[in-house]
Amino acid sequence: MAIHNELGKKGEELAVEFLQKKGYKILNRNWRYKKAEVDIIAQKNEVLAVVEVKTRSSNYFGNPQDFVNEKKIKLLVEAINEYVVSKDLDIEVRFDIIAILKNKSTFKIEHLKDAFLYF
């Protein structure tokens, strides 16, 4: 596996642990619909959190969250619409980003709630 893939996988593991410690129940990981992949679908109270995880080894080219582009947002929204409809859910949906920055052997985790608007 390529180093960047290993870093991404480690980032997702850290994000799951982080969310669980904050009281979120993990419903799905790497849920796919058409061309979209949702990293984490979690629930806390009456909120469905759709979480995109971005992990980087450096912020030289920008912060991890800067790499969630408009195309990715549209794919996430389409996928979650399908998820909510197919599971007949009546719940508030929120789109979050967990940005993880690796610094030597430590990781800095930032949870950005309501990270982007959708329409």
Instruction: Check residue 60 and report its DSSP letter.
Output: T
- Whether 45 is covered by a domain: the verdict is yes
Query: pTM of this prediction?
Result: 0.87
Domain membership flag for residue 117: no
pLDDT of 37: 92
Domain-located, residue 118: no
Distance of alpha carbon 67 from alpha carbon 69, whole angstroms: 6
Partners of 50 in the beta sheet? 41, 95
Residues of the chain with pLDDT under 50: 119
Residue 26 lies in a domain: yes
Q: Which CATH number do you get for residue 108?
A: 3.40.1350.10
pLDDT of residue 119: 45
Number of domains in the chain: 1
> Which tokens sit at 65?
């969250």
